[in-house]
Structure 1
């Protein structure tokens, strides 16, 4: 574990275009995206056709997708992303609306510096990761106002990192593990760090079965709870800032019965170095140690973290979500 100041975050990944690849921390650290493929240039805001984002994402070969235009892309259906893709929004301002992104049975995908807003429909998730997708990194995206979830990670999808994202104007934020009948989701492993949950109502995240490492996130003014541990989940909450509004319950536990078990169980949460503000109540179950809890160091050797503080709050308010930064130079 490394500790350093974060006033200029991510300079080491922005010095050249492809330096981003392999720079994720946590469970998604092996994601390389389209590192070994050519550049694909998005030249139109159209939903489909030559030069569109959809055209690039459906191609089977590795691609590093960059944008030559700024503006809003109205997705008329889910945008399916195939393996070995980097969707790199640095240097432009791209908003996706209407529908969201879907990753099915794919691996090595990086999504960076995009905005997602205004997804409509009964199943309008912003980003769906299912089934059996792995090595995914979602970085510096702004996500808000979809009719369903913002990020769903289900059906044995694993080794995923969500970093420096800004979540706002939403109810069901991040769901990890969709149903207690999907016992294969015991394989799920997710890292969420340096994200800003800005007044979203619940699920920061809600977890079934999986192992989740949360660190240096700022969650404020939630509407029901901050983090929820359900059936057999293990959540390691480390040096986060939880700032309550009217609702004070930070950690919620829900008992559910896995399909292959006779008795129901909740999940467990370990809190290490977290900061609880404005009356935020941190209820930790004594049975957590009996159920067993993973430690992140068992799975990856280091991660960049600092103690929760006012300065960290300021950094996360300013440096999460879409960023107005130039596209790094291409150094092949």
Structure 2
């Protein structure tokens, strides 16, 4: 689909989306002193599903709407050319190639009985190999990890063509590694690990302390791409990226039923996180989420074309002067009048945080949602390399750009 045709399609679908929803009432809301007064949409909860376009299962032809998906989706030969995916990442993680230079590794066994000497054919045996690997799955699998899964560098975990769940056990850990892609898997109901001896490479195993219960834990790692993952109900966070992790893109994911969703930087005293750069693009923050979408410290965070349909406390928070650029997102506030604010600053008086660079540019605010900006009127936030930035589409298109967030059903069809 050409760019012009795509824009035409988006305009038509948005017009249909707008005409199908319940009538909106416009109210004039007072904003911060450095923001203009503007009209904002007020909606009821009953319209959230129709706004998302997910009130019924999509059964039409394959559609690739956003620029990441257009790079690889809806190709007849996707299963024979899986590694095309590695060229498609955008944002701060754009240099991530995963296991593109390696062989395919077929996971045939969903067991995880021996974490020191894992059985060949298991996911654990695949991820500890030192050589680059593109890991795929022979069939649908429910994998209950008995200990945290320690992933080596230069790996792609590619769940396309199978229905893969990592659930009811431990989560995935990326520690001091680089160049990892995790794509098209379900991660949910992850619990704390008991610690103990775990193999983390072909030639090393060691003692690990108790795990927190994160779905995906990124520690001191770089060039990481998380794409089309469905995540919910983990014991701690869904995604944590800490201790100097950087060059990360989180895209096309669907998050539901969780409290602490995404943590980017864990300590107000760990100054090396000032180099952290993370892109969040085309994600859907959905049902029963409470806070941290994300919660940021120190670094630079580009939040672009995401759909925020639910939060109970706040959506985007931070401390220790992070730079947060929010562009082209849709924010639908909860009905609770006390939680309409999208933003939340931690551990700092206004005299301090008003100098932090938190910008909202082209965002769409509904049901009374509002974003409290801060920092200088013309901050130097765009002085980055062109490849590091995803150019935001108008926020009115967000429902379509994120329509296929989360895992995709690719078995026997165009993905």
Regarding TM over 0.5, the answer is yes
Find out whether 1:241 has 2:326 as its counterpart: no
Greater CA drift, 2-11 or 217-226? 2-11
Find out whether 1:184 has 2:272 as its counterpart: yes
Find out whether 1:279 has 2:368 as its counterpart: yes
User: Do 2:230 and 2:406's aligned partners in 1 also have CA atoms closer than 8 Å?
Assistant: yes
How far is the alpha carbon of 1:319 from its aligned partner?
Answer: 0.2
User: Do 1:213 and 1:296's aligned partners in 2 also have CA atoms closer than 8 Å?
Assistant: no
How far is the alpha carbon of 1:23 from its aligned partner?
Answer: 1.3
How far is the alpha carbon of 1:154 from its aligned partner?
Answer: 0.6
How far is the alpha carbon of 1:308 from its aligned partner?
Answer: 1.3
Q: Provide, for residues 201-254 of structure 1, a one-character-per-residue CA deviation record: whole Å limited to 9, x for no partner.
A: 101101000100011000122011010131120000000001011220111122
Greater CA drift, 150-159 or 296-305? 296-305
The alignment covers a number of residue pairs equal to 318
Find out whether 1:226 has 2:226 as its counterpart: no
Find out whether 1:269 has 2:361 as its counterpart: no
Q: Give the aligned CA root-mean-square deviation in angstroms.
A: 2.4
Q: Provide, for residues 88-140 of structure 1, a one-character-per-residue CA deviation record: whole Å limited to 9, x for no partner.
A: 00000100011111001111100000000101127100001002x11110000
Partner residue in 2 for 1:206: 295
User: Between Structure 1 and Structure 2, whose CA radius of gyration is higher?
Assistant: 2
Partner residue in 1 for 2:151: 81
TM-score by structure 1 length? 0.89
Counterparts of 2:132 and 2:413, CA distance in 1: 19
User: Do 2:128 and 2:151's aligned partners in 1 also have CA atoms closer than 8 Å?
Assistant: yes
Find out whether 1:36 has 2:92 as its counterpart: no
Counterparts of 1:94 and 1:301, CA distance in 2: 31
Q: 2:399 aligns with which of 313, 321, 325?
A: 313
Structure 1 SS opposite 2:233: strand
Partner residue in 2 for 1:289: 376
Gaps spanning 5+ residues in structure 1: where? 258-262
Counterparts of 2:151 and 2:189, CA distance in 1: 20
TM-score by structure 2 length? 0.72
Counterparts of 2:90 and 2:412, CA distance in 1: 22
Structure 1 SS opposite 2:135: strand
User: Do 2:98 and 2:180's aligned partners in 1 also have CA atoms closer than 8 Å?
Assistant: yes
User: Do 1:167 and 1:196's aligned partners in 2 also have CA atoms closer than 8 Å?
Assistant: yes
Partner residue in 1 for 2:235: 147
User: Do 2:305 and 2:401's aligned partners in 1 also have CA atoms closer than 8 Å?
Assistant: no
User: Do 2:328 and 2:398's aligned partners in 1 also have CA atoms closer than 8 Å?
Assistant: no
Counterparts of 2:412 and 2:278, CA distance in 1: 28
User: Do 2:154 and 2:179's aligned partners in 1 also have CA atoms closer than 8 Å?
Assistant: yes
Q: 1:125 aligns with which of 211, 214, 229?
A: 214
Structure 1 SS opposite 2:387: coil
Counterparts of 1:282 and 1:274, CA distance in 2: 9
Greater CA drift, 290-299 or 138-147? 290-299
Find out whether 1:8 has 2:95 as its counterpart: no
User: Do 1:268 and 1:291's aligned partners in 2 also have CA atoms closer than 8 Å?
Assistant: no
Counterparts of 2:326 and 2:149, CA distance in 1: 32
Counterparts of 2:146 and 2:102, CA distance in 1: 27
Counterparts of 1:65 and 1:190, CA distance in 2: 25
Counterparts of 2:405 and 2:104, CA distance in 1: 26
Find out whether 1:325 has 2:384 as its counterpart: no
Q: 2:390 aligns with which of 284, 291, 303?
A: 303
User: Do 2:292 and 2:315's aligned partners in 1 also have CA atoms closer than 8 Å?
Assistant: yes
